Amino acid sequence: MSESNNKPNYAMLTDFYEYTMANGYYLNGWKDRIVYFDVFFRRIPDGGGFAIAAGLEQLIDYLKHFHFEPEDIEYLRSKGCFDEGFLEYLKNFRFRGDVWAVPEGTPVFPGEPILTIRAPAIDAQLIETFTLLTLNHQSLIATKANRVCRAAQGRVVLEFGSRRAQGADAAVIGARAAYIGGCAGTACALTDELYGVPAGGTMAHSWVQMFDSEYEAFKTYCELYPNSATLLVDTYNTLKSGVPNAIRAIKEVLIPKGIKNYAIRLDSGDIAYLTKKARRMLDDAGLTDCKITASNSLDEYLIRDLLMQDAKIDSFGVGERLITASSSPVFGGVYKLAAVEDADGNIIPKIKISENVGKITNPHFKKVYRLVDRETGMALADQICVYDEVIDDTKPLTIFDPLATWKTKTLTNFWARELLVPIFKDGKRVYDSPSLPEIKAYCENEIAHLWDEIKRFENPHDYYVDLSQRLWDIKRILLDMNSDNH
């Protein structure tokens, strides 16, 4: 805890064993040994066809300001298991490593590095927990938000989940991630203040209940906020009183002023039935400009079903099931050692082996290429390569199916684009972050260049992510070596 601002020092937001390992590296003389770690994930939430990378900006801020306060050192000393030399070493500690990452908003797939760290062993170990939590959380919410927004078929989706989020940071940062994923705005004022995600909202049921009549509540609100009035019509009886009172207030207050920007909102009941009835009532009253927004525990499947039932909805407010990603609430990104350097600077690949084939890692310092069709601009496949490989996109390239290595396809008219970009060099930031609206627009454009088969909610097509022949050969050698040894 920093005494100057009474805020927690996130250098201490780490699993305790990171400190025991770091202390061991120090005592073993490995504090400056260079290591390589990859962040990747194994499964896409909700069984989807792709995920969206997010959370990089918060990681950048964390690494820039990584340090230990005196009280942090005292806390570690109080545990009675750390060497005094190690504790002294931490007093002036700063992150010294290199970082590469995919830009926020990039569609990503299982098994491929979305972030790679090259750093001294202690540096790389101490940042593991925060690196994972920020990338896992925001990638999860951005991915869920995009599913919801795609279900809405171009209609506005607003993030409404602050009160159901799992903590203050989850509410604020989650709304940021939801914006990257496609939401037009948020109900969270702090996210707007900190990150510029447009915040909005009108009334709750309590506003309507405070007045002697529903009509008076609506009329007063229209008078106070004539340019952004959205009237919540389901406090008492949506069709018998709510919609009629909204029509009356709009006609008496807004129409005489020539205002056309107004709406009603439904938050309960049979939304499909009620919106169709409400739409007819509004149109019959001449209020064809009136928009209808719906909320109430929505997700991509409910939104899809509502639209299939021809519900008359212009926009959606989505809360708890988005901000918690309740249907698949864990992203599952992992942080694994891929290589170390020897005393001469040679890179020695490392592999983790498991009886669970899905948990066997890809070794070595790597790069990732996205292979793009030159004619359509559509993403065809990704290939993971050794760091110094260059794909020759003037020659045909054979890609193996991720689930059946006997099934291949050959790419001809394509170009290869590196996904991982430099973020830090020797502990110094070298990346100019785009603005949040730019990240959102980039995400939308990237997703537009994925085939529709990959975007299906159920049984999406498996996107090809392949290892280069050289990387596969290195992996096979390490597998054989470890098989012989164990």
Q: Which residues of 92-128 are buried (b: 16+ CB within 10 A; e: fewer)?
A: ebebbbbbbbbbbbbbbbbbbbbbbbbbbbbbbbbbb
Model confidence, pTM: 0.95
Q: What's the length of the chain?
A: 486
Q: pLDDT per position in the chain (486 positions), as tens?
A: 444 456 789 999 999 999 999 999 999 999 999 999 999 999 999 999 999 999 999 999 999 999 999 999 999 999 999 999 999 999 999 999 999 999 999 999 999 999 999 999 999 999 999 999 999 999 999 999 999 999 999 999 999 999 999 999 999 999 999 999 999 999 999 999 999 999 998 899 999 999 999 999 999 999 999 999 999 999 999 999 999 999 999 999 999 999 999 999 999 999 999 999 999 999 999 999 999 999 988 999 999 999 999 999 999 999 999 999 999 999 999 999 999 999 999 999 999 998 888 889 999 999 999 999 999 999 999 999 999 999 998 999 988 765 555 567 889 999 999 999 999 999 999 999 999 999 999 999 999 999 999 999 999 999 999 999 999 999 999 998 876 554
Q: Are 470 and 385 in contact (CB under 8 A)?
A: yes
Q: Are 351 and 479 in contact (CB under 8 A)?
A: yes
Task: Note every long-range contact of 198-206, with CB atoms under 8 Å and residues 24 or more positions apart, other chains counting.
Answer: 200/158, 200/228, 202/228, 202/229, 202/230, 202/231, 202/232, 202/265, 203/230, 203/231, 203/232, 204/232, 205/232, 205/234, 205/235, 205/267
Can you give the residue ranges of every domain in the chain? 10-141+329-485, 154-323
Q: Does domain 154-323 have CATH number 3.30.1490.20?
A: no
Tally Cβ neighbours within 10 Å of residue 146. 27
pLDDT tens digits along 320-379: 999 999 999 999 999 999 999 999 999 999 999 988 888 899 999 999 999 999 999 999
pLDDT tens digits along 164-208: 999 999 999 999 999 999 999 999 999 999 999 999 988 999 999
Task: Report the greatest alpha carbon distance in the chain.
Answer: 85
CA distance 295 to 157: 10
Indicate the fold that domain 10-141+329-485 takes in CATH. nicotinate phosphoribosyltransferase (3.20.140)
CA distance 484 to 486: 6
